[in-house]
Amino acid sequence: MTREITLSKAVNEAIAEEMRRDETVFLIGEDVAEAGTPFKVTSGLVEEFGTDRVIDTPISEPGFVGMAVGAAMTGSRPIVDLMFGDFIYLVMDQLCNQAAKTHYMSGGKLKVPMVLRTNLGATRRSAAQHSQSLHALVAHIPGLKVAMPSSAYEAKGLMKTAIRDDNPVVIFEDKLMYNDKAPVPEEEYLIPFGEANVLREGTDITLIGTSSMRQVCEKAAEALAKDGISAEVIDPRTLVPLDEPTLLKSARKTSRVIVVDEGHRNFGVTGEIASRINEKAFYHLDAPVLRLGAMDVPVPFSPALEDLTVPTPDAVAAAARSLVAGEMTHAA
Amino acid sequence: MAADGSKHNTEDYLRMYRQMVRIRAFEDNANQLYLSAKMPGLTHMYSGQEAVAVGICEALTDDDRITSTHRGHGHCVAKGADFKAMFCELLGKAEGYCRGKGGSMHIADQSHGNLGANAIVGGSMGIATGAALTAKLQKTGHVAVCFFGDGATAQGLWYEVMNMAALWKLPVIYACENNGYSEYTKTEEIAAGSLTARAEAFGIEAHSVDGQDVLAVNELAQKLVARARKGEGPFFIELKTYRYHGHHVGDINRDYYRSKDEEAAWKTTRDPITNFGKWLEGQGIVTADELVEINNEIKADAEAAVAYAEAAAYPPGEEVDAHVFAGVDHALTYIDGAAK
């Protein structure tokens, strides 16, 4: 049986199911208990699992992330709620120097099975310190797995996989999608890491979209179809590991690729994926691989400015038309 | 010596003496490996601080966890580690505790509850407190000890985790080894007010003890560990001690921050091993000859372990991308989906 539930509810269900399944799993973070987080994602969990397993913390991000690392090293499976993705900067040492490297530095003797769930996404009028999409920062660090759910279905399946993983996993949910509904099975399912999802098959161009950029790509593909352009849409679902074979297969088939991601374009996820396609599918390409990311400016507050900074379906479709028409030109 | 001798038996005393001598012997050999250019990188000597690690670790079981620091060989030995696997790790050999991937600054010994040295000053304060959280949630009765230096008290992380440890009554003991120097700077230049008062501000019971007196340290540790197991933690201990060497083995000319006279005074009058040896003799527990015999036996053990480690094999090249992820043999094929 499948019903439609919000992304928020999907995450909640995943956490509750895994907490019922394994009593070493606990949730820790700011206002995760009675408040259920500002986005109400964890509402109801404290009523079922109690304050020992749904732990409200002081506003001390490095402190509780560090404690999650230590708890994970000693037989617990913590899920850390980091209220905004922007706060990743506060926890970089604990996440990147400690959690990411412990298994390696110990020669495989210590494990850090923890999940850090946080969010990304602009256009919520929250300005520069509550709107960033910083997944590229952690995807850069060996030892961290990075998941990017693109709908309620992915949010639930990837979260359950993350909680059962023996490694630190960072999950970025798009904070603008918490109320978006999608079909989610009643029965249990998990989505393995490293398996991209081909959402729409096409022959003229491949649109690779992470997180909510998947929907942006799908809308662009619909518009392109009206122009007679057949676009394939792929959601990588996880950045680390990245399902290169699926992306390369599509690139070789369509010969044109646009990568769309809401992180900043400079030195980001789009550049990484484009580069891998260039390295491994170059002779199958008819055009340069294009990157569409967040504009390389801090996220502005004014709606008139903020809306200019993120990729839109129109922008993706326009870029696709240009590629398919062979209009890409290079500076002399 | 501060302790009431009746609480210990001869075996305990001799084990503490031996463990302190083992740390000193380990460090003397590690220093020689550096000076003779046989050790990659550099290392930070624990010599002078032996009574701290031994006094505390002798109050712990293998299931109790510790977190250690960049100056971590002493904690590792005191928690029960083996010389051979330690020297192999220092030399980057496959038989090292971390298969050569950690080295001196990341040595960990899971089998004895050592969650690892940490090269970020104060970096393990969250880890130790998290280990105590597991102990509380899973009702294991285990205790976590977080070793750190006076320099690390300047890190904000400590205040965050002390706050939570106090709120949640976690079984963690914060053991601050105040050796008087924060790298190349005197502690009084980096620490305002009193360190014990900082812990007390969170409602944490704080103690200050002579870190050169292994019996005083052990007596206090026994009491606090037992109380932490009963849920009376957390606790803070400031252990006043002294670092014989520089910040690291290459820090040779250090007149600009401390005098040779000061170093000599600590070594001749406050040495934890010499003074404990004299006390053991005075109590009639051991003779001077027997102490020499113990020292020589441990020295020979350490030298044999060094020789073993020097001859041991390096890890094979194919291990370079192993252990990046648990459950993944080779990270490089995993991250690009090639292993799918």
Distance from CA of A284 to the nearest CA of B (A): 19
Note the pLDDT of residue A177.
Answer: 98
Choosing among A27, A64, A67, which should be mutated to test the B contact, i.e. which has the most B CBs within 10 A? A67
- Summarize pLDDT for A188-222 with one digit per residue, the tens: 999 999 999 999 999 999 999 999 999 999 999 99
- Summarize pLDDT for B52-108 with one digit per residue, the tens: 999 999 999 999 999 999 999 999 999 999 999 999 999 999 999 999 999 999 999
Note the pLDDT of residue B312.
Answer: 98
Closest-approach residue (CA) in chain B for A90 = B157
In the predicted structure, residue A66 carries a pLDDT above the cut 90: yes
Tokens of A84: 């905004």
Distance from CA of B133 to the nearest CA of A (A): 6
Angle between helices A269-281 and A244-254 (to 10 degrees): 60
- According to DSSP, the residues that pair with B236 across neighbouring strands are B174, B206
A127: CB partners within 8 A, 6+ apart: A299, A300, A301
Residues of B in contact with A96 (CB under 8 A): none
Q: Which amino acid is at A288?
A: P
Note the pLDDT of residue B340.
Answer: 63
A228: CB partners within 8 A, 6+ apart: none
Q: Do A67 and B335 touch (CB under 8 A)?
A: no
- Summarize pLDDT for A2-12 with one digit per residue, the tens: 899 999 999 99
Of the pLDDT bands very low, low, confident and very high (cuts 50, 70, 90), residue B1 is: low
Residues of A in contact with B335 (CB under 8 A): 240-242
Note the pLDDT of residue B6.
Answer: 47
Note the pLDDT of residue B8.
Answer: 65
In the predicted structure, residue B5 carries a pLDDT above the cut 90: no
DSSP structural state of residue A185: E
* B232 close to B202: Cβ distance less than 8 angstroms: no
Distance from CA of A39 to the nearest CA of B (A): 24
Of the pLDDT bands very low, low, confident and very high (cuts 50, 70, 90), residue A133 is: very high
Omega before A241 within 30 of 0, i.e. cis: yes
DSSP structural state of residue B202: T
Residues of A in contact with B166 (CB under 8 A): none
Q: How far apart are CA B48 and CA B187, in angstroms?
A: 17
Residues of B in contact with A58 (CB under 8 A): 160, 163-164, 167
Residues of A in contact with B134 (CB under 8 A): 70-71, 74-76
Q: Do B100 and A243 touch (CB under 8 A)?
A: no
Q: Is A68 on the interface with B (CB under 8 A)?
A: yes
Residues of B in contact with A246 (CB under 8 A): 337
Choosing among B172, B202, B340, which should be mutated to test the A contact, i.e. which has the most A CBs within 10 A? B340
- Summarize pLDDT for B97-124 with one digit per residue, the tens: 999 999 999 999 999 999 999 999 999 9
B255: CB partners within 8 A, 6+ apart: none
Average pLDDT value for residue range B251-275: 96
Residues of A in contact with B322 (CB under 8 A): 108
* Average pLDDT of the residues of chain B: 96
Tallying the residues shown for chain A, one arrives at: 332
- Summarize pLDDT for A301-331 with one digit per residue, the tens: 999 999 999 999 999 999 999 999 987 665 4
**Domain edges within chain B:** 5-335
* A15 close to A48: Cβ distance less than 8 angstroms: no
Please name the residue ranges forming H helices in A108-233. 135-139, 152-164, 213-226
Note the pLDDT of residue A151.
Answer: 98
Note the pLDDT of residue B4.
Answer: 52
Note the pLDDT of residue B3.
Answer: 53
Q: Looking at the domain B5-335, which fold is it?
A: Rossmann fold (3.40.50)
Note the pLDDT of residue A330.
Answer: 58
* Average pLDDT of the residues of chain A: 97
A236: CB partners within 8 A, 6+ apart: A148, A196, A208, A210, A242, A243, A247, A273
Q: Looking at the domain A2-185, which fold is it?
A: Rossmann fold (3.40.50)
Nearest CB neighbour to B337, from listed A53, A74, A241: A241
Task: Give me the interface pTM, i.e. the ipTM.
Answer: 0.95
Residues of A forming the active site: 61, 130
A284: left (phi over 0), alpha (psi -120 to 50) or beta: alpha
- Claim: this prediction has a pTM higher than 0.90: yes
**Domain edges within chain A:** 2-185, 197-324
Tokens of A292: 């569409």
DSSP structural state of residue A28: E
Phi, psi of B145 (to 5 degrees): -115, 125
A315: CB partners within 8 A, 6+ apart: A292
Q: Is A279 on the interface with B (CB under 8 A)?
A: no
Distance from CA of A103 to the nearest CA of B (A): 6
In the predicted structure, residue A332 carries a pLDDT above the cut 80: no
Q: Do A103 and B127 touch (CB under 8 A)?
A: no
Of the pLDDT bands very low, low, confident and very high (cuts 50, 70, 90), residue B9 is: confident
Is the domain A197-324 a CATH 3.30.1490.100 member?
no
Q: Do A74 and B65 touch (CB under 8 A)?
A: yes
Whether the CA torsion B183, B185, B186, B191 is positive or negative: it is negative
B336: CB partners within 8 A, 6+ apart: A241, A242, A244, A276
The structure tokens 């305990």 sit at B12
Nearest CB neighbour to B123, from listed A57, A98, A241: A98
Distance from CA of B86 to the nearest CA of A (A): 12
Note the pLDDT of residue A161.
Answer: 98
Nearest CB neighbour to B157, from listed A62, A107, A110: A62
Report angle CA B69, B330, A248 to the nearest 5 degrees. 125
Average pLDDT value for residue range A267-286: 97
* A257 close to A178: Cβ distance less than 8 angstroms: no
Listed residue (A236, A278, A225, A227) closest to A260, CA to CA: A236
Average pLDDT value for residue range B260-281: 97
Q: Is A243 on the interface with B (CB under 8 A)?
A: yes
